[in-house]
Structure 1
């Protein structure tokens, strides 16, 4: 469970989700291989934004954007319905099919 003062984490948008960022320069290991033996993983470096984890804390701007999106979805979307209401609607639809 997340404590109140903790900042939620998001997947880092600047890397591949595994904490690696693509570069044009191959790694040290790839410099000693033939061109045919170089894999795409040899042209990556650790992402400085997330520290190589793939996840990073949300910025205040991102938190504000998410809160604004959630509020607009709440105002513009359909009102939430309870499970008994859903079951009643499904029962009425099923009775109409018979």
Structure 2
């Protein structure tokens, strides 16, 4: 029974990392959004910027302007067993065209 519980816990922890990346957008004005991306497995900051541009495209169907006010944030991805050692988060603002 203990092995089953330990296995289930391990799957749950690893599944949290499979929902990578976490993308959030918040409207802060007409056609103006604050975007946040948080990755458990981050190769470099360019990957986070790519995720932000993809998110900007989804919130601005008529086109997004350049990313503004880029800010690195501490990751909120959990890591109990070291599964998210390369985590990172980035925030930016974008204005829709």
TM-score tier (shorter): under 0.3
Normalising by structure 2, we get a TM-score of 0.25
Higher strand share: 2
Q: Which has the larger Rg? A: 1
Normalising by structure 1, we get a TM-score of 0.25
